[in-house]
């Protein structure tokens, strides 16, 4: 059996959901959506209206944020006095869009504004003391942070001590002590009354811009949509309204830079969705900050020069391609390390070769594979420091976890799912042990699998293009509002094949007796054997429509799967007994002593010999999760006993043989007759020295000739003493089949036919029959 990667939790259909039907009809929405909305806690009339028909009236009053009035007054005074204003942003897509929104708003009221995006490698995240000093020396008189600042104590304290006011606008986790800034605008400020906690940095900047301009800057909503989606904040409540309206603005945007970026990425903004941002625009804006200076992102989004926009878009496209190659190489290397640390509660993956800017992406990809927190770090030999990013799973708050070792860290920040950190290499073991102890004591290691909410079960025949189109009404999808997950069971898998570069992905058809459904499994290419051999496979994924040459077909984008019952994997003919198991609990079963050298490098406790299995050994053996059948069983009764008592559900058939009997076959009666006549002609022969001559003369393979002589000896047709074979005068007439040697050879042929040359499905059926006995 193959366990699912996630813990599946199927949503129950509540009768209460029927309350929504009449409201949905008023909004001209399908009643079939009622249970999906109810389970997403969209249960009131106004919530439904806002969900399907958001408007600017759904935006909350920016002045509900603490310090907003103070902030607007200070910026207006700065503009009136002609003060030089610095917008200090961040190097990711949220920071780039936040900076652009704030800069444009201040420019619109006549402010003398410039901006700075810290360099990830030289400045680090957030307020940097040396950068602040430099700008203060250049006579900056007001600093406004966007998408950063709540943890920037040192730099902010210095600026304030120099008479330079610092306004912080941020959305990241609030530290226990806030910096001594002129004002702090944050949706979760402890003294604030803002009704929505999950704004992105660009959402907070947009709120300041709205208050500053005295009206909603509709033209900025395309940027708000980009930053909000790219930063993976909750797509519920006000964020949903901002993004849904923002996507509509993007379809008609007049931003030349955005148009150019879409053009080089080969997407049409007129069809923009959350996926356009999440998979195309967002990653490209993030790429420049990951590899160097992120300022071209702000220049691109705010320029009115078509030629400059084209140049910047091409530059960003090149950086994204470069980033993809770097990520691919680092991820491959990190996966190898992750396998070696499979038993660790939290993985620390380290290399001095990895590019600092892509560590967060690599961590995210590894987390999706291993299902536990991962921290990916680069090592700087000159400073003897480790610096990197961590990603977590739903059940483990990474920010809270790392807070347990805060005193050991030079710097760290983030939130429950992601964090950045820096510390001395000498602290590594102390930090690892402390975090492992914390996770164990807090009970967070009981089950580290993430939970996957399944919205509904579907039969293949129920899935149509029209049905999938209906769910688009729930978009934009994202954090806390995912595209629905469906459970689909397949009776048969057809057209299974690996696709993509390096056979990275899988494609197949799920079938039952009524219909079929295309299925795409990204990054599952190496798991093709699970699908080939699996029966009663249950798939969980999201539905989409594949459009090609005007044809539209439903398809399932696989997220997870499980295989019930016993699985048999065919590794016959492989050079090595090594497999790629899903666990570290692998046993090796040997039927013949002569095969023991094959597993001599394996731990002694993991190797079992069939002839030595007793009640106690079977109990020990069946504690394993996977077993490799090393060689071919030759005793039928022994094979039946072993497989009848075997409870392990994942078997790998290596089945190596030292000498093949099936292909050689039994000698013919004619060959036996030739040997009998030869012995009659030469009644006494020293087989120690003449065996080769006999084989050549009789034109019988040497090993087959030895077998035939042993049969004659077993039947009493000849005697062999001191290597001298002699004919027995007038032996008792017996059929060849009476010879135990003949019977054993015949049985070996039959066993090899079954275990070495039969289709793996036939072998599986034979094993299952033994379990039923």
Percent of the chain with pLDDT over 70: 98
Nearest to 226 by CA among 273, 179, 266, 183: 273
pLDDT tens for each residue of 179-231: 999 999 999 999 999 999 999 999 999 999 999 999 999 999 999 999 999 99
Residue 740 is assigned to a structural domain of this protein = yes
Say what the pLDDT of residue 575 is: 85
Q: Which residues contact 161 (CB under 8 A, 6 or more apart)?
A: none
- The residue whose two tokens read 């492989």 is 574
Say yes or no: 673 and 656 in one domain: no
Predicted confidence band of residue 579 (pLDDT cuts 50, 70, 90): low
**Could you tell me the two tokens for 268?**
């049409």
How far is CA 296 from its chain centroid?
A: 31
Say what the pLDDT of residue 509 is: 94
CATH number at residue 15: 2.40.50.460
Say yes or no: 162 and 274 in one domain: yes
Q: Indicate the residue among 537, 563, 589 that finishes a domain.
A: 563
Backbone torsion region of residue 721, taken as left when φ is above 0, otherwise alpha when ψ lies between -120 and 50, otherwise beta:
beta
Residue 288 has pLDDT above 90, yes or no: yes
Q: How many domains does the chain have?
A: 5
Are 202 and 94 contacting, i.e. CB atoms less than 8 angstroms apart?
yes
Q: Indicate the residue among 512, 531, 563 that finishes a domain.
A: 563
Say yes or no: 621 and 746 in one domain: no
Q: What is the DSSP string of 345-409?
A: SSEEEEESSS-GGGHHHHHHHHHHHH-S-EEEEEEETTTTEEEEEEE--TTS-HHHHHHTTGGG-
CATH number at residue 150: 3.90.1640.30
Count the helix, strand and coil residues of the chain and give each as a percent rounded to the nearest 5: 45, 20, 35
Separation CA 755–CA 573 (nearest Å): 12
Backbone φ and ψ of 506, nearest 5° = -120, 150
Preceding omega of 476 cis (within 30 degrees of 0): yes
Say yes or no: 281 and 371 in one domain: no
Residue 329 is assigned to a structural domain of this protein = no
Tell me the β-bridge partners of 561.
539
The pTM of this model reads 0.82
pLDDT tens for each residue of 633-651: 999 999 999 999 999 989 9
Say yes or no: 141 and 236 in one domain: yes
Tell me the β-bridge partners of 719.
726
pLDDT tens for each residue of 512-562: 889 999 999 998 998 888 887 666 789 999 999 999 888 999 999 999 999
pLDDT tens for each residue of 162-174: 999 999 999 998 9
CATH number at residue 619: 3.40.50
Residue 325 is assigned to a structural domain of this protein = no
Say yes or no: 511 and 578 in one domain: no
Residue 632 is assigned to a structural domain of this protein = yes
CATH number at residue 397: 3.10.310.30
Predicted confidence band of residue 630 (pLDDT cuts 50, 70, 90): very high
Residue count (the chain): 773
Separation CA 389–CA 376 (nearest Å): 6
Are 430 and 408 contacting, i.e. CB atoms less than 8 angstroms apart?
yes
* Mean pLDDT over the full length of the chain: 93
> What's the mean pLDDT in 333-341?
93
pLDDT tens for each residue of 714-725: 999 999 999 999
Cα dihedral across residues 198, 204, 206, 209: positive or negative: positive
Say yes or no: 193 and 291 in one domain: yes
pLDDT tens for each residue of 361-406: 999 999 988 888 999 999 999 999 999 999 998 888 998 999 999 9
Residue 71 is assigned to a structural domain of this protein = yes
β-sheet with 586-590: strand ranges across = 567-570, 650-656, 626-631, 586-590, 607-609
Say yes or no: 211 and 306 in one domain: yes
DSSP class of 480: T
Say yes or no: 351 and 438 in one domain: yes
Say what the pLDDT of residue 566 is: 85
Predicted confidence band of residue 448 (pLDDT cuts 50, 70, 90): low
- The residue whose two tokens read 């299952």 is 768
- The residue whose two tokens read 């002045």 is 63
Are 76 and 109 contacting, i.e. CB atoms less than 8 angstroms apart?
yes
SS3 of residue 125 by DSSP: coil
> What's the mean pLDDT in 62-75?
98
Q: Crossing angle for the helix pair 201-213 and 68-80, nearest 10 degrees?
A: 60
Residue 582 has pLDDT above 70, yes or no: no
Residue 687 is assigned to a structural domain of this protein = yes
Residue 38 is assigned to a structural domain of this protein = yes
Say yes or no: 239 and 298 in one domain: yes
Say what the pLDDT of residue 30 is: 96
Q: Which domain holds residue 764?
A: 567-660+756-772
Q: Indicate the residue among 528, 563, 598 that finishes a domain.
A: 563
Say yes or no: 31 and 171 in one domain: no
Say yes or no: 360 and 414 in one domain: yes
Residue 409 is assigned to a structural domain of this protein = yes
């Amino acid at each position: 059996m193959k366990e699912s990667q996630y813990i599946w939790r199927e949503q129950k259909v509540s009768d209460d959901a029927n309350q929504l039907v009449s409201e949905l009809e008023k909004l001209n929405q399908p009643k079939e959506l009622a249970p999906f909305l109810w389970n997403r806690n969209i249960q009131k009339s106004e919530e439904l209206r806002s969900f399907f028909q958001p408007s600017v009236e759904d935006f909350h009053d920016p002045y509900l944020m603490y310090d907003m009035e103070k902030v607007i007054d200070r910026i207006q005074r700065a503009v009136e006095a002609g003060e030089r204003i610095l917008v200090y942003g961040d190097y990711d897509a949220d920071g780039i869009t936040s900076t652009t929104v704030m800069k444009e708003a201040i420019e619109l009221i006549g402010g003398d504004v410039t901006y700075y995006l810290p360099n990830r490698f030289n400045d680090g995240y957030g307020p940097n003391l040396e950068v602040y000093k430099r700008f203060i020396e250049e006579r900056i008189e007001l600093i406004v942070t966007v998408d950063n600042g709540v943890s920037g104590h040192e730099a902010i304290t210095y600026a304030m001590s120099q008479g330079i006011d610092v306004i912080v606008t941020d959305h990241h986790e609030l530290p226990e002590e806030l910096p001594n800034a002129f004002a702090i605008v944050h949706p979760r400020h402890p003294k604030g009354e803002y009704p929505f906690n999950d704004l992105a940095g660009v959402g907070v900047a947009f709120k300041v811009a709205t208050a500053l301009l005295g009206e909603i800057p509709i033209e900025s909503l395309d940027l708000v949509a980009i930053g909000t989606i790219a930063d993976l904040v909750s797509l519920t409540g006000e964020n949903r309204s901002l993004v849904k309206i923002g996507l509509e603005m993007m379809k008609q945007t007049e931003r030349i830079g955005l148009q150019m970026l879409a053009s080089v990425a080969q997407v049409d903004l007129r069809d923009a969705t959350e996926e356009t941002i999440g998979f195309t625009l967002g990653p490209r804006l993030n790429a420049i900050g990951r590899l160097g200076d992120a300022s071209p992102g702000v220049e691109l989004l705010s320029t009115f020069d078509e030629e400059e926009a084209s140049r910047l878009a091409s530059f960003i496209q090149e950086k994204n391609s470069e980033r993809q190659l770097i990520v691919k190489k680092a991820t491959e290397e990190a996966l190898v390390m992750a396998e070696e640390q499979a038993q660790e509660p939290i993985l620390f993956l380290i290399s001095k070769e990895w590019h600092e800017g892509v560590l967060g992406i690599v961590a995210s990809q590894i987390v999706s594979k291993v299902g536990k927190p991962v921290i990916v770090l680069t090592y700087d030999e000159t400073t003897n420091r480790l610096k990197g990013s961590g990603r977590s799973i739903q059940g483990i708050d990474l920010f809270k976890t790392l807070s347990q070792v805060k005193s050991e860290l030079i710097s760290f920040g983030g939130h429950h799912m992601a964090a950045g950190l820096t510390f001395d290499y000498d602290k590594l073991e102390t930090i690892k042990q402390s975090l492992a102890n914390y996770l164990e004591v807090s009970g967070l290691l009981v089950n580290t699998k993430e939970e996957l909410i399944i919205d509904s079960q579907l039969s293949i025949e129920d899935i149509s293009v029209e049905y999938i189109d209906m769910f688009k009404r729930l978009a934009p999808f994202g954090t806390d509002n995912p595209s629905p997950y469906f459970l689909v069971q397949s009776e048969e898998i057809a057209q299974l094949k690996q696709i993509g570069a390096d056979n990275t992905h899988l494609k197949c058809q799920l079938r039952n007796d009524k219909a079929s459904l295309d299925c795409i499994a990204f990054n599952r290419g190496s798991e093709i054997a699970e699908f080939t051999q699996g029966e009663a496979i249950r798939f969980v994924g999201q539905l989409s429509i594949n459009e090609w040459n005007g044809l539209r077909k439903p398809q399932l984008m696989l997220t997870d799967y499980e295989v019930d019952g016993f699985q048999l994997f065919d590794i016959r003919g492989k050079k090595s007994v090594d497999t790629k198991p899903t666990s570290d609990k692998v046993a090796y079963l040997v039927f013949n002593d002569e095969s023991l050298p094959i597993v001599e490098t394996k731990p002694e406790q993991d190797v079992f010999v069939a002839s030595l299995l007793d009640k106690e050994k079977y109990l020990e053996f069946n504690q394993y999760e996977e077993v490799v059948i090393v060689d071919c069983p030759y005793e039928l009764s022994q094979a039946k006993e072993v497989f009848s008592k075997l409870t392990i559900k994942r078997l790998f058939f290596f089945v190596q043989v030292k000498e093949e009997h099936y292909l050689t076959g039994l000698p013919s009666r004619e060959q036996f007759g030739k040997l009998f006549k030869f012995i009659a002609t030469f009644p006494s022969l020293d087989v120690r020295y003449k065996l080769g001559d006999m084989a050549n003369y009789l034109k019988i393979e040497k090993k087959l000739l030895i077998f035939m002589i042993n049969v004659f000896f077993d039947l009493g047709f000849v005697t062999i003493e001191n290597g001298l074979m002699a004919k027995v005068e007038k032996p008792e007439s017996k059929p060849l089949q009476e010879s135990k040697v003949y019977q054993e050879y015949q049985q070996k042929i039959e066993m090899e036919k079954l275990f070495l040359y039969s289709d793996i499905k036939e072998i599986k059926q034979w094993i299952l029959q033994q379990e039923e006995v």
